[in-house]
């Protein structure tokens, strides 16, 4: 029998947007009412089901209602209408270490946080050593948590939440914190939990983690579910739609920067210098960035961020790393990025050109995913991954 | 809706929150727990000098204990009063000071004001235990005899404080004035209750410009009954008045019902309002 672990039926959640918020009696009495409010439906008529043991992703742009939906699932928000049923023990990771009290020690906070997540003292005592060990806190466990580094704080919070053996785990973007080592361990833990049959609902912007973890995905837009289905399909439609939206509306490009100089367009050229719309794996190619400086710009740096369409970074060649920085640029011109060999494996990639100052901290112009292009099969015959190391194999049998 | 089953399952959490309240209160202070005793002692000293010595207030005689010590007479009512106000005032700020917890985790929110009252109760029980020992050294053995009734009174005071705590804590989220208003209100309420002075002071007095006896008005205040009942069972060693008990119990239960209802209604949007 396929029993649903999470059932969401026609859930709507409204927020009141306060034009002016009064928290004082005086203002209330003077005006005769408390607030001047406008309704805003953050979640509208959302329905979905998550099967037991399934990993389910909620994706969408900022303000699409995915985090609000998750907070409804955790019961932090009470929806206006609709029904939510969760079958099984729930643990939520909304913000790691959210329940910590700064004056109390790590030990005291573990017990408090564990109790919030529904563990009894007995269970907590049994798991305590494991929690501390996983967090890597060591002897600091008896120090007040306000003396912890942010990393220790987050690790301890994660360790408690993950050690309650949840049947349903609700996660919001927490994977984005901590160092790489910690993130890797988080991902391993999620994979373990999933293998043990834990149901996971994940809200994330990072398409890579959604792609890696989730079986199915719901794409939310303006508070409604736009599409539910197989992870790969939905993510493709989602990233595709974002792309289409940009192309049809030139001014709607996600683009930022101070604007002293700008990237006007990007072109792909083949070996012979002809404009092409796709590259060939293993063949030479040139990426040409056209710029326009509105004033003399000292020591500009050009960079080319390459990523897969799911957002996985591939490479980011830049002129500074190659020591190719002019003293000053003004007016129009272009920069060529020459590749002796396109080392990308066949697939679709997004290119983000960035124009910045020498520190690369001050961005003059960044045009997110300005160009999407395909790489077709050529002289490279590898299949796994996104790039090649251009390997040379040697086999040396002995005897 | 917060269900009964949920309350039961959150007992562990309740204990933890109460412990946290107690621990964090005196963390990093040299005297720690002793502070919870020094405060009522200082109060007693002031009131005893002011009313007992300067105004010659005497506890009205009566009861089998025949105690005459003003300081003890005072403490028998002052300690429950302090417990009541600390419990309510602690609850009032409990939701706002735990905003982070409310916005990021789920548990029955009633636990926060309840744990403030719980923490106050723990301190109160210690104080009352010490007071009991002092009463015994003064030969008031009847205080032991009436101990079960005293426990009932503490329970009723807890219910009353919890009711007001729930009510005002959630109102305070919407109207932050409540907290400031209450601190003045409790000061006035203290003097509208015969705690630092005996009721005999008011005997024969009327409300200004009327023929209504002041004592009669005072008895509308449920805390008057509370104070007199605690004195009955602890100081005088006699049974509290039946009507007084009923009247106070009615107020306490009424406050709890109203508090729970308002909390249930207004508590749904806490995570957004904070």
Torsion angle defined by CA atoms of residues B57, B61, B67 and B70, in that order, rounded to the nearest 10 degrees: -10
| Residue A172 domain flag | yes
Which chain B residues are within 8 Å of A144, Cβ to Cβ?
Answer: 27
Quick check: is A384 in a domain? no
Token pair 């704080």: residue: A153
How, if at all, do strands A285-298 and A328-339 pair?
antiparallel
Range of weakest confidence among A19-28, A323-332, B128-137, B180-189: A19-28
- Among the candidates A182, A213, A243, a domain finishes at A243
pLDDT for the residue numbered A174: 63
Regarding an ipTM greater than 0.85, the answer is no
Whether A392 is covered by a domain: the verdict is no
> Which of B20, B119, B91, B99 shows the shortest CA–CA distance to B263?
B91
Residue A338 sits in the same domain as residue A219: no
Q: Which domain holds residue A141?
A: 4-243
Token pair for A372: 């999407």
Q: How confident is the model at residue B231 (pLDDT cuts 50, 70, 90)?
A: very high
Which residue in B has a C-alpha nearest to residue A110's C-alpha? B16
Q: Which of B13, B14, B119, B268 to mutate to test the interface with A (most CBs of A within 10 A)?
A: B13
Chain B residues in contact with A34 by the CB 8 A cut-off are 174
Enumerate the β-bridge partners of residue A14.
Answer: A41
* Interval B74-96: pLDDT, tens: 999 999 999 999 999 999 999 99
Residue A243: per-residue pLDDT: 47
Question: B16, A111: Cβ pair inside 8 Å?
Answer: yes
The reply to whether A391 falls in a domain is no
- Residue A80 sits in a domain whose CATH number is 3.40.50.300
pLDDT, position A251: 43
CA dist A158 to A110, A135, A161, A274, A382, Å?
11, 8, 5, 53, 38
A367 and A323 in a common domain: yes
> Residue A331 is part of a domain; what is its CATH number?
2.70.50.60
Residue B228 and residue B223: Cα distance in Å, rounded? 8
CA distance A350 to A358: 24
As a whole number of angstroms, the distance between CA B115 and CA A34 comes to: 30
d(CA B87, CA A292): 68
Of A101 and B188, the structure prediction assigns the larger pLDDT to: B188
Other C-beta atoms lying within 10 Å of the C-beta of residue B147: 14
| Co-location of A266 and A237 in the same domain | no
**Residue A349 and residue A224 in one domain:** no
A88 shares a domain with A26: yes
Round to whole Å and give the CA distance between B235 and B74: 9
First to last CA, chain B: 20
Cα A277 to the center of its chain, rounded Å:
29
Number of domains in chain A: 2
Q: Which residues of A27-50 are buried (b: 16+ CB within 10 A; e: fewer)?
A: bbeeeeebbeeeeebbbbebebbb
At residue A23, the pLDDT reads: 62
Average pLDDT, chain B: 88
Mean pLDDT by 10-residue block, N- to C-terminus, for chain A (399 residues)? Answer: 81 79 64 66 92 90 86 90 89 78 85 84 88 86 87 84 85 68 78 88 80 88 90 80 45 70 91 90 94 92 89 89 91 93 89 89 84 88 87 90
Is the residue at A281 inside a domain? yes
Q: Are residues A232 and A287 in the same domain?
A: no
Can you count the helices (H) and strands (E) in chain B?
13, 0
Nearest CB to B13: which of A74, A101, A115?
A: A115
Which of B24, B105, B177 is opposite residue A98, by nearest beta carbon? B105
Q: What is the DSSP string of B162-225?
A: HHHHHHHHHHHHH-THHHHHHHHHHHHHHHTSTTSS-GGGGTT-B-TTS--BHHHHHTTSHHHH
Q: Which of B2-11, B56-65, B217-226 has the lowest mean pLDDT?
A: B2-11
Residue A149, domain member (yes or no): yes
Predicted pLDDT at A225 = 92
SS3 B266: helix
Do A197 and A331 lie in one domain? The reply is no
Mean pLDDT of B36-49: 85
For the segment B224-239, the average pLDDT, to the nearest whole number, is 94
A263 shares a domain with A200: no
Per-residue model confidence (pLDDT) at position A292: 93
- Kindly list the residues from chain A whose CB atom is less than 8 angstroms away from the CB atom of residue B11: none
d(Cα B271, Cα B274) in Å, to the nearest integer? Answer: 6
Cβ-nearest to A98 among B12, B20, B101: B101
Beta strands in chain A (DSSP E): 4-21, 35-51, 55-59, 81-86, 90-93, 168-172, 199-203, 216-221, 224-230, 255-256, 261-269, 275-276, 278-280, 285-298, 301-308, 313-315, 328-339, 347-356, 363-367, 371-376
For A264, which DSSP code? E
Q: Which two tokens stand for residue B140?
A: 């008031």
Q: Residue A367 and residue A371: Cα distance in Å, rounded? A: 9
Residue A97: closest CA among A129, A124, A131 = A131
Token code pair at residue A399: 């005897």
Query: If you ran DSSP here, which 8-state letter would residue A387 be given?
Result: B
Pair A38, A173 in one domain: yes
């Amino acid at each position: 029998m396929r029993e649903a672990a999470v059932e969401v039926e026609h859930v709507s959640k409204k927020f009141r947007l306060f034009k002016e918020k009064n928290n004082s009696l005086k203002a209330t009495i003077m005006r005769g009412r408390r607030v001047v409010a406008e309704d805003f439906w953050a979640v509208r008529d959302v329905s979905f089901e998550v099967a037991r043991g399934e990993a389910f992703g909620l994706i969408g742009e900022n303000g699409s209602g995915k985090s609000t939906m998750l907070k409804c699932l955790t019961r932090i928000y009470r929806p206006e209408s609709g029904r939510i049923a969760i079958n099984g023990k729930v643990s939520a990771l909304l913000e790691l270490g959210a329940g910590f009290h700064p004056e109390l020690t790590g030990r005291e906070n573990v017990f408090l946080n564990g109790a919030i997540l529904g563990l009894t003292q007995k269970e907590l005592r049994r798991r305590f050593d494991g929690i501390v060990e996983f967090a890597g806190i060591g002897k600091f466990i008896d120090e007040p948590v306000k003396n912890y580094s942010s990393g220790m704080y987050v690790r301890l919070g994660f360790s408690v939440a993950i050690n309650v053996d949840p049947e349903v785990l609700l996660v919001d973007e927490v994977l984005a914190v901590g160092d790489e080592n910690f993130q890797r361990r988080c991902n391993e833990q999620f994979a373990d939990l999933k293998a043990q049959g834990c149901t996971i609902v994940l809200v994330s912007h990072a398409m890579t983690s959604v792609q890696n973890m989730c079986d199915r995905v719901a794409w939310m837009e303006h508070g409604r579910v736009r599409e539910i289905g197989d992870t790969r399909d939905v993510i493709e439609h989602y990233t595709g739609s974002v792309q289409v939206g940009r192309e049809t509306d030139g001014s709607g490009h996600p683009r930022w920067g101070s604007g002293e100089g700008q990237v006007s367009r990007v072109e792909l050229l083949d070996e012979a210098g002809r404009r092409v719309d796709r590259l060939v794996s293993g063949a030479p190619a040139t990426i040409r960035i056209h710029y326009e400086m509105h004033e003399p710009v000292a020591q500009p740096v050009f960079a080319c961020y390459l990523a897969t369409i799911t957002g996985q970074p591939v490479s980011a060649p830049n002129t500074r790393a190659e020591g190719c920085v002019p003293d000053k640029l003004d007016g129009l011109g272009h920069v060529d990025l020459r590749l002796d060999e396109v080392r990308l494996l066949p697939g679709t990639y997004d290119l983000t050109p960035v124009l910045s100052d020498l520190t690369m901290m001050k961005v003059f112009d960044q045009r997110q995913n300005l160009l999407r292009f395909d790489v077709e099969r050529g002289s490279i015959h590898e299949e796994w991954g996104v790039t090649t190391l251009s390997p040379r194999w040697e086999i040396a049998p002995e005897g | 809706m917060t269900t009964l089953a949920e309350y039961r399952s959150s007992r562990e959490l309740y204990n933890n929150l109460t412990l946290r309240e107690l621990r964090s209160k005196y963390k990093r202070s040299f005297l720690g727990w002793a502070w919870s005793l020094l405060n009522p002692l200082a109060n007693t000293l002031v009131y005893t000098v002011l009313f007992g010595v300067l105004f010659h207030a005497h506890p009205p005689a009566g009861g089998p204990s025949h105690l005459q010590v003003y300081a003890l007479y005072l403490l028998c009512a002052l300690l429950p009063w302090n417990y009541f106000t600390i419990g309510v005032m602690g609850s009032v700020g409990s939701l706002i000071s735990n905003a982070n917890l409310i916005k990021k985790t789920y548990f029955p929110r009633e636990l926060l004001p309840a744990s403030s009252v719980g923490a106050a109760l723990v301190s109160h029980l210690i104080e009352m235990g010490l007071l009991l020992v002092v009463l015994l050294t003064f030969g008031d053995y009847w205080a032991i005899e009436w101990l079960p009734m005293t426990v009932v009174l503490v329970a009723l005071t807890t219910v009353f404080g919890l009711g007001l705590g729930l009510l005002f804590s959630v109102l305070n989220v919407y109207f932050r004035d409540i907290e400031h208003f209450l601190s003045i209100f409790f000061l006035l309420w203290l003097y509208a209750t015969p705690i630092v002075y005996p009721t005999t002071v008011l005997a024969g007095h009327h409300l200004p410009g009327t023929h209504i006896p002041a004592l009669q008005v005072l008895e509308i205040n449920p805390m008057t009954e509370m104070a007199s009942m605690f004195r009955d069972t602890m100081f005088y060693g006699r049974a509290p008045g039946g009507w007084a008990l009923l009247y106070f119990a009615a107020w306490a239960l009424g406050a709890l019902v109203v508090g729970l209802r308002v909390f249930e209604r207004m508590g749904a949007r806490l995570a957004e309002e904070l």
